[in-house]
Amino acid sequence: MNLPALSVVIPTLDHCDLLVRCLESLNAQTHKAVEVIVVDDGSTEDIARAVVAFTEVRVVRRETNGGFCKAANDGIRATTCPYILLLNNDMTLAADCIERMLNAAQAEPTALHAPLVLLDSDRDRVWAAGDRVSQGGRPEAIGFRMSREALTLPETIFGVSGGAALYPREVLEKVGLLDETFVAYFEDVDLCMRARLAGYSCALVPDACAYHVGSASLGGKTWWRSQQCFRNHVLLVLKNFPVSTLSRHREAIVRENKHQAGMLLTSARTEFGLIGAVIVLIDSIVRIVATLPWALRERTRIQSMRVISAEQFDALLTPARDPK
């Protein structure tokens, strides 16, 4: 069977050691990518020198760090193939991963596909078997840290994680790339929501395995991650949930937002103390308010392209649990 051509995009900020491991796993694939694009997002390490041995790799250099979304989008814009595999630099792939994912893509040409992601340090433990989204708008990795043996593979998934995701170019041309306003966190869920609203599907390829090291690039800035999640949860729900979904699940949405605010206060207090944490929370709320006019314009655009009913969208959501 002739498999479709594939481009691989790897945004990276330093961590040449992880990047080289990722590229070595691509070299070992039973089906090779046509092009591999590494986006150097303002690294202080010499990325070009680190990848010089990989002759098929093209480096797109960003002079300043703009965040995951900008780097990923720059890489995607530089691709030419009908399918694009977006990878974190801390991912490696089983030798047959690309072949299995492209076989699945041929069966569902316009679906977004996710591999089964396992912990690199414990390959019997799951990092993600696709993503789900709760009625409160909370994204979660399915099977997170469960043993692989204990995991019941989901029959359906809501979305695919941008850490290892196969996107058909056709879908991206229809719904757009990652929303750069998000900077990082939940941007991949936002893209999947837009695809779902436009009638596209997402699927797990359970026999295609990827291995994840962890959030190596975050460098301990858990307060910043919490700030991003608090802010981006609001944008995610406001942009994408149909009106009736917002109304039906408003209590769950509010609970989730309070949970995100609490996580932000806790992580910021560890770094800055109580007063500093309150200042960070207020600053985050101000940032959200400043973004609302743009988010509402985006909402109008996204909802105008919706082809599924609000009821069909609701059916894709997982019943909300009390946030923990």
Tell me if 264 is assigned to some domain.
yes
| DSSP-derived secondary structure for 1-34 | -PPPPEEEEEEE-S-HHHHHHHHHHHHT-SS--S
Asked if residue 177 belongs to a domain, the reply is no
**Contact by Cβ (8 Å): 292, 231:** no
Separation in Å, CA 67 to CA 38, 51, 71, 112, 220: 14, 21, 6, 23, 16
Find tokens 């308010």 and name the residue: 289
10 Å CB burial of residue 300 (0-12, 13-18, 19+) is exposed
Instruction: Report the amino acid identity of residue 25.
Output: S
Backbone dihedral angles phi then psi of residue 196, each to the nearest 5 degrees: -65, -45
The SS3 assignment for 319 reads coil
Contact assessment for residue 93 and residue 209, using Cβ atoms and an 8 Å cutoff: yes
> What gap in Å lies between CA 12 and CA 241, rounded to an integer?
31
**Domain span holding position 267:** 222-316
Give domain status of residue 284, yes or no: yes
Query: In 3D, which of 278, 294, 308, 103 has the Cα closest to residue 208?
Result: 103
187: Cβ–Cβ under 8 A, 6 or more apart, which residues? Answer: 68, 69, 162, 178, 179, 232
DSSP state of 263: H
Residues 6 or more apart whose CB falls under 8 angstroms from that of 233 comprise: 137, 138, 186, 256, 257, 260
Whether residue 270 is contained in a domain is answered as yes
Give the pLDDT confidence score for residue 222 in this predicted structure. Answer: 86
- What does the alpha-carbon distance between residue 273 and residue 267 come to, in Å, rounded to a whole number? 10
In a domain, 232, yes or no: yes
Q: Sign (positive/negative) of CA torsion 221, 226, 231, 233?
A: positive
Residues in the chain: 324
Tokens of 199: 């009638």
Return the pLDDT at 321: 72
How much is the pLDDT for 323? 61
Q: What is the pLDDT of residue 322?
A: 62
183 within some domain = no
Q: Identify the pLDDT of residue 215.
A: 58
Residue whose pair of structure tokens reads 């498999």 in the numeric block? 3
Confidence at residue 141, expressed as pLDDT on a 0 to 100 scale: 96
Q: What is the number of structural domains in the chain? A: 1
pLDDT in tens, the chain (324 residues): 689 999 999 999 999 999 999 999 999 999 999 999 999 999 999 999 999 999 889 999 999 999 999 999 999 999 999 999 999 999 999 999 999 999 999 999 999 999 999 999 999 999 999 999 999 999 999 999 999 999 999 999 999 999 999 999 999 999 999 999 999 999 999 999 999 999 999 999 999 999 999 755 444 468 999 999 999 999 999 999 999 999 999 999 999 999 999 999 999 999 999 999 999 999 999 999 999 999 999 999 999 999 999 999 999 999 967 666
Q: How far apart are CA 141 and CA 188, in angstroms?
A: 12
Classify residue 128: in a domain, yes or no. no
Q: What angle do CA 61, 66, 68 make, to 5 degrees?
A: 90
CA 318 to chain centre: 18
* Dihedral of alpha carbons 121, 125, 127, 130, sign: positive
Please give the pLDDT value at position 221: 64
Give a yes or no: residue 278 inside a domain: yes
Q: How far is CA 304 from CA 169, 198, 240, 309, in A?
A: 21, 10, 11, 12
- pTM of the predicted model as reported, rounded to 2 decimal places: 0.94
